[in-house]
Structure 1
Amino acid sequence: MFLILPISIVAGIVLLMLAFFAVRAWINRRRAAGGKRLAETLHLNAKWWHNERDKPGELLYVAVGDSAAQGVGASKPGRSYVGLIAEHLRKRTGRTVRVVNLSVSGARIREALALQLPALRRLIPDVLTVAIGANDIASFDKHRFERELEELYSALPPGAVVADVPSFYVGVAERNAVVAGSIVRRLATKYGFPVAPLHATTRRQGVARYALNQAAADFFHPNDRGYRVWASAFLPVLDDLLPEDSLHHRG
């Protein structure tokens, strides 16, 4: 026995389906176009951060990471979470800050080990943030993720602040991000590193708010507002670590 629906209900269902596919097609077109535009800015971000390395500062802030640390999607590289942390350190301590951003767009943990760790070994940072692993989620292998992350953490200096991966909100990527986060926290505890709760902080924003208000043109990288959310995951942890004699006391 077949259920016969009124024509108005059938028409409504068809319209909803058409609207869904139209919206999805629009998002895919915008994501592709936005991704192409952002890809054209990668060398500009890298050049900007390279120039920043030569500026003197009383404190040395070093960042290990990927395109998010580079500030891809922000209106200016300095409005990435790395730039926001540096500005916070200047205001919080009253001291000048030199920023050495070792991050590489597209980096996974294996690229951080091969390209960023050797450079880090030549530095003695006052502040070090490590946010890597989001690019490992697409082809996630939890055993490889843990093995490579342990190799990285075992080589970091004391006092590093590490972050788990951001929320992907839905689907397999989000389930992988949860597993990755548990690995980050377990290894961070083993090596004595405080964890910036990036996953919880971004997940609280919700997928709708992120897509409409905090995502860059490619719907993947954060925009300026999104990077402020990222920075908010780091700042309380960093404030707790700053030694008392580094703080700027006003009379």
Structure 2
Amino acid sequence: MVSWKPVFVVGSAVATCAAALSAWSAVAQKRARVAAAKARLNETLPVHSKWWRDTATTDGEILYVAIGDSAAQGIGASAPKNSYVGVIADHIRSATGRTVRVVNLSVSGATVALAVADQLPRFAGYEPDIVTVSIGANDIADFDPETFREGIEKVLDALPADAIVADLPYFFFPRNEHKVAVANEILRRAGGERGLTVAPLHEAMQKQGLRGIMTQFAEDLFHPNDHGYRVWASAFLPAVTDLAVRKFPRKPPVAATA
């Protein structure tokens, strides 16, 4: 009797190899698309930076200053105004009925140390009405708790008492989340000691669940998209709104003249 076993074994091996090659090809294509997306978003860095510089020259009754990194710049959004900083500024205008000047001191790629070296000296030249800070996400890759503590305390010490500081965002992956948990414990404790409001950015993102992975990120799978930035803004808005309307009660409507 002829045995078909070797034929089946060979056929199975061929099918397994084909499946493996197909999977490898899909992964390689995905990596290539993500790399291309990163390159495209890198090209937007000077565009966003110029947009915010131009915006800072616009006068406003309320001065809003932001400290941060590429998220504050709005990298990944369809336009700089759709960053969380832009969303917050629009909300301040709506809540107060007043014009808002936005000075966005953020720099793409900024770590806490770079914010101390670059953004804080520039921040000292302003007397802002509203301040938001979101910094530290870029420290996670090479995270050192003591270095982070020293840097974040310098940032917080430079802020007015009513500044609103976000904790670090939700990273989704356990390895990074362990480091984020340590960083956020440091940040929240330091913020509490100084009486600062800490916006719950991590919680706001985490509440989105697994669906957030599919809906919150730009094509580079790292920066937020427009929806993601609205989630970021939602972490700030309760505190920002309360501060804005206390400082700037909404103007009564102008009576029409006959």
Alignment counterpart, residue 121 of structure 1, candidates 103, 110, 124: 124
Q: Identify the residue that residue 213 of structure 2 maps to in structure 1.
A: 211
Letter in 1 for 2:248: S
Which amino acid is 2:234 matched to? S
RMSD: 2.3
2:73–2:104 Cα contact (<8 Å) kept: yes
1:131 pairs, out of 131, 134, 151, with 134
Q: 1:85 is matched with which residue?
A: 88
After TM superposition, the structure 1 = structure 2 runs for residues 161-200 of structure 1, keeping only pairs within 5 Å, are 161-200=164-203
**Closer, same or farther in 2 for the Cα pair 1:21/1:164, shift >3 Å?**
farther
1:158 aligned onto 2:172: no
Query: How has the CA–CA distance of structure 1 residues 155 and 224 changed in structure 2, closer, same or farther, with 3 Å as cutoff?
Result: same
Provide the secondary structure at the position in 1 that maps to 2:143: coil
Structure 2 unmatched runs, 5+: 1-7, 254-258
In the alignment, which residue of structure 2 is the partner of 1:99?
Answer: 102
3-state DSSP of counterpart to 1:54: coil
For 2:220, the aligned partner's letter is D
Write the letter of the residue equivalent to 2:216: Q
Post-superposition offset of 1:151? 1.2
Q: Which of 45, 49, 74 in structure 2 is aligned with 1:46?
A: 49
Counterparts in 2 of 1:40 and 1:153: CA distance versus 1, 3 Å: same
Q: Secondary structure at the match of 2:108?
A: coil
Shift of 1:155: 1.5
Measure how far apart 1:240 and its partner are. Answer: 2.6
Kindly state the Cα deviation for residue 211 of structure 1 after the two structures are TM-superposed. 3.5
Deviations 1:10-47 (A, max 9, x none): 99987886666455434322221111000011000000
Instruction: Give the paired residue count.
Output: 245
Q: Which position in structure 2 is the counterpart of 1:108?
A: 111
Aligned twin of 1:144 = 147
Structure of higher CA gyration radius: 2
Specify which of 184, 197, 204 is matched with residue 201 of structure 1.
204
Query: What SS does the aligned partner of 1:240 have?
Result: helix
Q: Secondary structure at the match of 1:242?
A: helix
Paired with 2:169 and 2:175, the residues of 1 have a C-alpha distance of 14
- Which residue identity is paired with 1:229? V
Alignment TM-score, normalising by the size of structure 2: 0.87
Q: Residue 145 of structure 1: CA displacement? A: 0.5
Residue identity in the other structure for 1:71: G
Distance verdict in 2 for CA 1:182–1:210, change over 3 Å: same
